[in-house]
């Protein structure tokens, strides 16, 4: 009698952690033994993974936002739901940034940093209020921008996109498609079909996360070394304490205050939170977040189709609230720049109002430079923190995704739309 032994594939999360461990080991080997080929290989693989995610951001954000606007047609109380969604965006962001400011003040991460000024490099991407306001006006329908720079003695032209402009354009097109009635129906049907196709492609790219994340961490070790990474330990601890407080204290308290079960919420939302942690992208997690919000938490499809895609591009408690608050205090403490009450208030305002600037894969860096420029702090301070950014980004994105599931559930509950009998969300495929 022949018996077939079935090999159980490790869970997706375990695959990612194994990939991270291998990446860190390869990074150590490449740096310690000065193996240029291995270092270049890690860098190239990491960059290719990020490029694949970036390639999907424009079509995914555009089609998801248009679909979310179209979904409002089926809601009788659309205005109240939209207003409630943005109100809870602001409330949770306010709480998160307050926690960041308290932790940054108590732990003083900038005063205990072991990094040198040589690591203070002005980042290529920076945010300012002028850029934020100007970015509200799309330069074209897909918000694509061409830039030319000199590299190796030759001019190279590349295309980039502004996700904030893309959101504005998608909202306008979605509203117009709904308002024109039957004439817009074919376009909305095409958009829904395109969204389904791009989500399928996204699932294929997400399966590469163990390789991509490992390569990115290994490349960080090669570039910065263990000494630079360990020197920022106090800052990393402060950030993760803040993230843990928001995720495991603030969110459960908000759920209880609104008559919901934290145990049920985390049981349903954990697949999305887990994927956000390992993929480091709210956009990549969007399909899973929609599944857990609808099937696991019982939010009606008509509302979730609007709230979740919008939240995935503008609701960032980790990147836009906790992180910039602690990081701004870190930079001020490192450069010995005193901050006053008005400065703390500015950090709160920037975090609550400027969260839309965090859309995309470089969101945390844009938000940090926006905060630093508002306070008049050296932008080079952002360069001090780049060494451990991949590690921090995992926790930041997990909190982002949790908040993106939390707000629609709370709003639906307060509006009497929540179906508490919903089944648990499916695991990550």
Under 8 Å between Cβ of 250 and 407: no
What pLDDT is stored for residue 424 in this prediction?
53
What pLDDT is stored for residue 398 in this prediction?
92
What pLDDT is stored for residue 57 in this prediction?
76
Strand stretches in 107-250, DSSP E = 144-151, 154-161
Under 8 Å between Cβ of 421 and 317: no
Can you read off the two tokens belonging to residue 318?
Answer: 């980790």
Write the CB contacts of 86 (distance below 8 Å, at least 6 apart in sequence): none
For residue 155, the Cα-to-chain-centroid distance in whole angstroms is: 32
Q: Is the pLDDT of residue 219 over 80?
A: yes
pTM: 0.80
What percentage of the chain has pLDDT greater than the value 70?
80
Confidence label for 70 from pLDDT (cuts 50, 70 and 90): confident
Q: Is the pLDDT of residue 224 over 90?
A: no
pLDDT digits (tens, 9 = 90+) for 270-319: 989 988 887 778 887 888 898 899 999 999 888 888 888 888 877 888 88
- At 140, phi and psi to the nearest 5? -160, 180
- Region of 143 (left: φ > 0; alpha: ψ -120 to 50; beta: rest) is left
Residue for token digits 């696991």? Answer: 296
Q: How far is CA 424 from CA 265, 270, 294, 405, in A?
A: 9, 10, 10, 14
Q: Is the pLDDT of residue 426 over 70?
A: no
Confidence label for 409 from pLDDT (cuts 50, 70 and 90): very high
Give the chain's mean pLDDT: 81
Q: Is the pLDDT of residue 327 over 80?
A: yes
What pLDDT is stored for residue 168 in this prediction?
79
């Amino acid at each position: 009698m022949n018996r077939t032994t079935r090999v159980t594939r490790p869970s997706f999360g375990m695959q990612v952690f194994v990939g991270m461990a291998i990446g860190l080991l390869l990074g150590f080997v490449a740096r310690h033994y000065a193996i240029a080929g291995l270092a270049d290989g890690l860098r190239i693989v990491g960059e290719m993974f990020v490029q694949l995610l970036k390639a999907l951001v424009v079509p995914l954000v555009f089609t998801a936002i248009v679909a979310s606007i179209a979904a409002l047609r089926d809601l009788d109380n659309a205005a109240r739901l939209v207003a409630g969604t943005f109100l809870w965006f602001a409330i949770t962001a306010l709480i998160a940034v307050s926690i960041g400011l308290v932790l940054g003040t108590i732990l003083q991460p900038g005063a205990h940093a072991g990094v040198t000024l040589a690591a203070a490099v002005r980042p290529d991407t920076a945010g300012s209020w002028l850029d934020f306001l100007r970015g509200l006006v799309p330069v074209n329908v897909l918000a694509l921008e061409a830039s030319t720079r000199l590299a190796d003695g030759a001019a190279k032209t590349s295309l980039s996109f502004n996700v904030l402009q893309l959101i504005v354009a998608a909202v306008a097109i979605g509203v117009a498609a709904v308002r024109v009635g039957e004439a817009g129906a074919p376009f909305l049907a095409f958009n829904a079909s395109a969204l389904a196709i791009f989500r399928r492609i996204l699932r294929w790219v997400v399966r590469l996360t163990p390789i991509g994340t490992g390569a990115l961490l290994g490349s960080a070790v090669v570039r910065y070394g263990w000494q630079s990474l360990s020197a920022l330990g106090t800052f990393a601890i402060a950030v993760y304490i803040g993230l843990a407080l928001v995720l495991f204290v603030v969110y459960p308290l908000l759920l209880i205050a609104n008559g919901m079960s934290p145990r049920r919420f985390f049981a349903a939302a954990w697949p999305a939170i887990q994927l956000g942690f390992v993929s480091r992208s709210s956009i990549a997690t969007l399909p899973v977040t929609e599944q857990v919000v609808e099937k696991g938490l019982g939010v009606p499809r008509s509302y979730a189709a609007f709230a979740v895609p919008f939240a995935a591009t503008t609701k960032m408690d980790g990147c836009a609230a906790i992180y910039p608050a602690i990081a701004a205090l870190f930079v001020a403490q490192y450069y010995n720049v005193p901050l006053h009450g008005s400065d703390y208030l500015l950090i709160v305002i920037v975090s609550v109002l400027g969260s839309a600037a965090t859309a995309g894969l470089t969101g945390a860096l844009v938000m940090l430079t926006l905060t630093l420029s508002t306070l008049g702090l050296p932008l080079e301070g952002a360069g001090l923190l780049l060494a451990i950014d991949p590690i921090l980004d995992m926790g930041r994105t997990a909190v982002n995704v949790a908040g993106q599931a939390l707000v629609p559930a709370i709003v639906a509950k307060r509006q009497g739309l929540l179906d508490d009998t919903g089944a648990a969300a499916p695991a990550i495929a």
